[in-house]
């Protein structure tokens, strides 16, 4: 008790000082949210380039590099939205291609996401705004995938910002917010196609919200009273009639209120229609900038790539020459319609087992990496519905959107991956912030009344929350980032030990001159050849054939990802080999610095490589499967001077 008596005065004094500062500084909330945002940026930028690139990261990074290397770009839905390719292309030109550079845009935009909480400040208390910002900053799912070069965090941030500006327009009726909505929606659609799902989610949540307002305006209390009173048939009829009359009166009063506030309602409506039309133009302009082809367009990304001057009308040609603008616009629209049509085409082979598997991945990742936020989101919704906090439409709206996402995204995705949890976590952060702030306020109120038990309970809740989040962040975001046991890791992730080989390859490519820097070998053929795992094309006749300009074309390119990204970033000279004898001759005579083979390949001349002066280390290209292990053979002449990170 003595200890408690000594702690409470200190806490009370701290509370008085903080409350005094918050009351005297009208920008206190903004300053706190900015501080949280700076924390979010630091958490995302520290050791950003350490983890080895995932399959998807390597694939998209390669095409961003290809854009910068050739000057040609064309939208392909399989790479997702063009936003990251444009931004990374510019970054690579400034600071060079690297894992840090390719992830930097996602890290920065993910780190700035807590600022979006300020857009809801008319609907949330100051403590709730800060709580929402804090959850967006430290949630482990958002942390991990803000340090991952995929567009899920990008589309989540841009569409959440667009929604926030839509709320600001509702609050203020100022048209400038409509333009912000258009701008951020355009960025969202340029980031990833599932921006469309956000719009559908908003429409669905709006329907549920209207049902709540018109049917259960007082939340759960209406439903509870309706059941507990065991009404008669006449009472049920009277209640329904009364509810309908009340809803009609609500609509009539809303219309009258609008007419009373505006001298010319039709004129005001016309003005807003004009602003919406200009917003659509802004959306189209930003979208055109990102989606329009560059250089030789599609021909420039096919093999062999056409030069940028091959005759395609790209964005800059169209905007600088009015005579070509129509052709550029038509080319862009046709390409977008074609690619979006393919993306929207449902996979006919998808089964209930696929959905259950994808849902299982989603729920597992959410349970292990986002359990506190999910639990607090449910609590925040219940508090709102029961009236323990001031009922606000924003809270159930975003809870509906997040809750539906849990079941909707596994249905719409073709890959069961934990990154889709991002799209549920972001909207759920608002009801979760409401609950977190409520616990904080209850603790403060207990402190003001010397309720030691209440203070202790609130302190324990915050301590447990901090420990849980910190533990997941440390063990899932900053360590074990490629381990199969990590619920946030998707199976196409190479083991972190591959970094050593990649560092050596980069050093060799820089220092070595003359002949291939790397020789990739696979010698199986006939029935033993595995298209899904082999690194080298079986037939030498197809080594120079490819539809897209996937360099080196002799590789089974997608089986080797993310190695092609590292080959490109290191400017490595890569050759292929599929004959055991020929590889032995290369090893004895030409002695390429690095040879890459596969452990399951029975034709690898291991002893000849060792006798030629090669040492070897094996690594996992994926998190599981014996065929996903590859071996890097380094010649002693180069290995002696290698530096290992």
In a domain, residue 229? The reply is no
Question: Average of pLDDT values for 469-486?
Answer: 93
Structural tokens at position 129: 């705004």
**Of residues 172, 209, 548, 568, the one with CA closest to residue 391:** 209
Task: Please report the pLDDT score of residue 43 as a whole number.
Answer: 97
Enumerate the H helices of 97-175 as residue ranges: 99-112, 126-138, 140-146, 152-172
The CA distance from 106 to 116, in Å, is 16
Question: DSSP assignment of 45-113, as one string?
Answer: HTTTT-SPPPHHHHHHHHHHHHHHHH--B---GGG--SHHHHHHHHHHHHH-S-HHHHHHHHHHHHHHG
Task: Tell me what the mean pLDDT of segment 395-411 comes to.
Answer: 89
Q: How far is CA 44 from the centre of its chain?
A: 13
For residue 270, pLDDT over 70 is answered with: yes
What is the model's pLDDT at position 19? 74
Question: Which range marks the domain in which residue 575 is found?
Answer: 498-639
Mean per-residue pLDDT, 212-216: 67
* Those residues with Cβ within 8 angstroms of residue 167's Cβ, 6 or more apart along the chain or in another chain: 119, 120, 122, 123, 394
Q: Among the three residues 413, 445, 478, which one is the final residue of a domain in this structure?
A: 478
d(CA 103, CA 308): 27
Asked if residue 430 belongs to a domain, the reply is yes
Same domain, 403 and 440: yes
Residue 289 placed within a domain? no
**Count of Cβ atoms closer than 10 Å to residue 181 Cβ:** 23
- The span from the CA of 346 to the CA of 341, in Å, is 10
396 has pLDDT over 50: yes
How high is the pLDDT of residue 254?
Answer: 62
Tell me the average pLDDT across 484-490.
92
Query: Are 596 and 618 spatial neighbours (Cβ–Cβ below 8 Å)?
Result: no
**Residue 304 burial (CB < 10 Å; 0-12/13-18/19+)?**
exposed
- Provide the Cα torsion 639, 640, 642, 645; round to 10°: 100
- pLDDT above 90: residue 145: yes
Are the C-beta atoms of 435 and 383 separated by less than 8 Å? yes
**CB burial string 236-272: b at 16+ within 10 A, e below:** eeeeeeeeeeeeeeeeeeeeeeeeeeeeeeeeeeeee
pLDDT at 2: 43
Q: What is the mean pLDDT of residues 322-338?
A: 94
DSSP line for 337-374: HHHHHHHHS--TT--HHHHHHHHHHHHHHHHHHSHHHH
Q: What is the pLDDT of residue 644?
A: 36
Q: Do residues 452 and 8 make contact, with C-beta atoms less than 8 angstroms apart? A: yes
The more confidently predicted of residues 362 and 416 is 362
Q: What whole-number distance in Å separates Cα of residue 326 and Cα of residue 423?
A: 37
Of 379, 378, 371, whose CA–CA distance to 440 is shortest?
A: 379
pLDDT for residue 16: 76
**Does residue 367 fall inside a structural domain?**
yes
Specify the pTM.
0.91
Question: 160 and 101 in one domain?
Answer: yes
Question: How does residue 411 score in pLDDT terms, banded at 50, 70 and 90?
Answer: confident
Q: Could you tell me if 460 and 525 lie in one domain?
A: no
| Nearby residues of 301 by Cβ (< 8 Å), 6 or more positions away | 63, 66, 70, 72, 73, 74, 76, 548, 549
pLDDT of amino acid 3: 45
Residue 643 above 50 pLDDT? no
Helix (H, G, I), strand (E, B) or coil at 592: coil
How much of the chain, in percent, has pLDDT values that exceed 90?
66
In Å, how far from its chain's centre is CA 334? Answer: 27
- How far apart CA 545 and CA 534 sit, in angstroms, is 17
Among the ranges given (243-252, 267-276, 313-322, 333-342), the one the predictor scored with the smallest mean pLDDT:
243-252
- Does position 633 have pLDDT exceeding 50, yes or no? yes
Q: What pLDDT, in 10s, does the model give residues 163-178?
A: 999 999 989 889 999 9
Strands 614-620 vs 629-635: parallel, antiparallel or unpaired: antiparallel
Residue 84 forms part of a structural domain = yes
Evaluate if residue 34 carries a pLDDT over 60.
Answer: yes
**Average pLDDT of the residues of the chain:** 88
Among 478, 512, 544, the domain boundary falls at 478
Name the pairing type of β-strands 594-598 and 518-521.
parallel
Asked if residue 440 and residue 588 are part of one domain, the reply reads: no
Q: Which of 478, 508, 533 is the last residue of a domain?
A: 478
- Residues 346-381: tens digit of each pLDDT: 644 567 787 888 889 999 999 999 999 999 999 999
Q: Which 3-state string (H, E, C) describes 318-330?
A: HHHCHHHHHHHHH
User: Is residue 511 over pLDDT 90?
Assistant: no
Give the DSSP letter of residue 161.
H
Q: Are residues 126 and 176 in the same domain?
A: yes
Residue 473: how many CA atoms within 13 Å on its side-chain side?
20
Say whether both 157 and 43 belong to one domain.
yes
Task: Give the CA-trace dihedral at 600, 603, 607, 609, to 10 degrees.
Answer: -90
Q: Burial level of 172, CB count in 10 A (0-12/13-18/19+)?
A: exposed
Question: How would residue 387 be classed by pLDDT, with cut points 50, 70 and 90?
Answer: confident
pLDDT value of residue 242:
66
In this structure, the answer to whether residues 470 and 580 fall within a common structural domain is: no
* Same domain? 552 vs 412: no
Domain harbouring 552, CATH code: 3.40.190
Residue 59 has pLDDT above 70, yes or no: yes
Pairwise CA distance, residues 200 & 412, whole Å: 13
- Clarify whether residues 553 and 426 are in a common domain: no
Distance CA 14, CA 481 (A): 39
Give, rounded to a whole angstrom, the gap between the first and last alpha carbons of the chain: 53
* Tens-place pLDDT, residues 86-104: 999 999 999 999 999 999 9
Shortest CA distance to 149 belongs to which of 423, 461, 493? Answer: 493
Residue at 549 is within a domain: yes
423 lies in the same domain as 547: no
pLDDT score, position 233 = 64
Q: Could you tell me if 412 and 440 lie in one domain? A: yes
d(CA 165, CA 279): 13
Q: Are residues 437 and 557 in the same domain?
A: no
Residue 446: the pLDDT is: 85
Report the C-alpha gap between 271 and 67 in whole angstroms.
42
- Tens digit of pLDDT for each residue in 424-474? 999 999 999 999 999 999 988 888 888 888 888 988 999 999 999 999 999
| 246-272 average pLDDT score | 65
pLDDT of residue 645: 30
Looking at the structure of the chain, the number of domains it has is 2
């Amino acid at each position: 008790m003595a200890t408690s008596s000594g702690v409470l005065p200190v806490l009370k004094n701290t509370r008085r000082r903080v409350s005094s500062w918050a009351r005297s500084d009208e920008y206190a909330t903004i300053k706190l949210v900015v501080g949280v945002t700076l924390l979010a940026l630091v958490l995302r930028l520290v050791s950003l380039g350490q983890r080895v690139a995932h399959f998807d990261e390597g694939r998209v990074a390669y095409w961003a590099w290809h854009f910068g290397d050739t000057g040609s770009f064309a939208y392909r839905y399989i790479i997702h939205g063009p936003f990251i390719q444009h931004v990374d292309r510019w970054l690579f030109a400034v600071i060079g291609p690297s894992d840090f550079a390719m992830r930097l845009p996602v890290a920065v935009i993910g780190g700035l996401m807590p600022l979006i909480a300020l857009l809801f400040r008319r609907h949330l208390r100051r403590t709730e705004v800060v709580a929402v910002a804090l959850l967006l900053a430290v949630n482990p799912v958002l942390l991990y995938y803000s340090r991952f070069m995929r567009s899920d965090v990008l589309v989540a941030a841009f569409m959440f910002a667009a929604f926030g500006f839509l709320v600001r327009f509702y609050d203020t009726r100022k048209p400038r917010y409509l333009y912000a909505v258009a701008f951020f929606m355009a960025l969202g659609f340029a980031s990833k196609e599932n921006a469309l799902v956000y719009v559908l989610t908003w429409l669905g949540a709006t329907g549920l919200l209207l049902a709540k307002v018109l049917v259960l305006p007082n939340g759960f209390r209406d439903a509870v009273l309706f059941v507990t009173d065991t009404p008669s048939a006449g009472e049920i009829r009277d209640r329904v009639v009364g509810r309908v009359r009340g809803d009609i009166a609500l609509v009539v009063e809303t219309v009258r209120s609008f007419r009373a506030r505006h001298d010319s309602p039709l004129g005001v409506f016309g003005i807003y229609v004009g602003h919406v039309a200009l917003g659509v133009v802004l959306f189209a302009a930003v979208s055109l900038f990102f989606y329009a082809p560059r250089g030789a367009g599609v021909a420039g990304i096919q093999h062999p790539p056409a030069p940028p001057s091959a005759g395609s009308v790209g964005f800059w040609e169209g905007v600088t020459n009015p005579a070509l603008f129509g052709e550029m616009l038509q080319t862009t629209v046709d390409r977008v319609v074609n690619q979006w049509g393919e993306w929207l085409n449902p996979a006919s082979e998808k089964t209930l087992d696929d959905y259950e598997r994808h849902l299982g991945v989603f729920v597992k990742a959410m349970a292990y990496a986002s359990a506190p936020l999910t639990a607090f989101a449910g609590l925040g919704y219940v508090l709102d519905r029961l009236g323990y906090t001031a009922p606000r439409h924003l809270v159930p709206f975003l809870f509906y959107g997040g809750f539906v996402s849990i079941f909707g995204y596994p249905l719409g995705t073709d890959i069961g991956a934990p990154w889709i949890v991002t799209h549920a976590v972001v909207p759920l952060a608002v009801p979760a912030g409401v609950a977190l702030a409520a616990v904080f306020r209850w603790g403060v109120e207990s402190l003001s009344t010397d309720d030691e038990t209440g203070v202790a309970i609130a302190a324990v809740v915050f301590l447990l929350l901090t420990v849980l989040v910190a533990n997941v962040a440390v063990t899932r975001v900053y360590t074990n980032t490629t381990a199969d046991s990590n619920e946030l890791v998707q199976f196409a992730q190479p083991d972190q030990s591959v970094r050593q080989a990649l560092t050596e390859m980069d050093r060799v490519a820089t220092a070595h001159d003359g002949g291939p820097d790397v020789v990739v070998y696979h010698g199986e053929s006939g029935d033993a050849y595995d298209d899904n795992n082999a690194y080298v094309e079986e037939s030498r006749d197809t080594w120079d054939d490819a539809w897209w300009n996937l360099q080196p074309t002799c590789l089974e390119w997608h089986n080797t990802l993310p190695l092609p990204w590292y080959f490109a970033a290191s400017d490595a000279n890569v050759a292929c080999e599929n004959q055991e004898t020929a590889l032995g001759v290369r090893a004895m005579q030409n002695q390429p610095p690095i040879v890459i083979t596969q452990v399951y390949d029975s034709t690898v001349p291991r002893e000849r490589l060792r006798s030629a002066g090669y040492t070897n280390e094996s690594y996992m290209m994926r998190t599981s499967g014996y065929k996903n292990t590859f071996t890097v053979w380094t010649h002693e002449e180069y290995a002696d001077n290698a530096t290992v990170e």
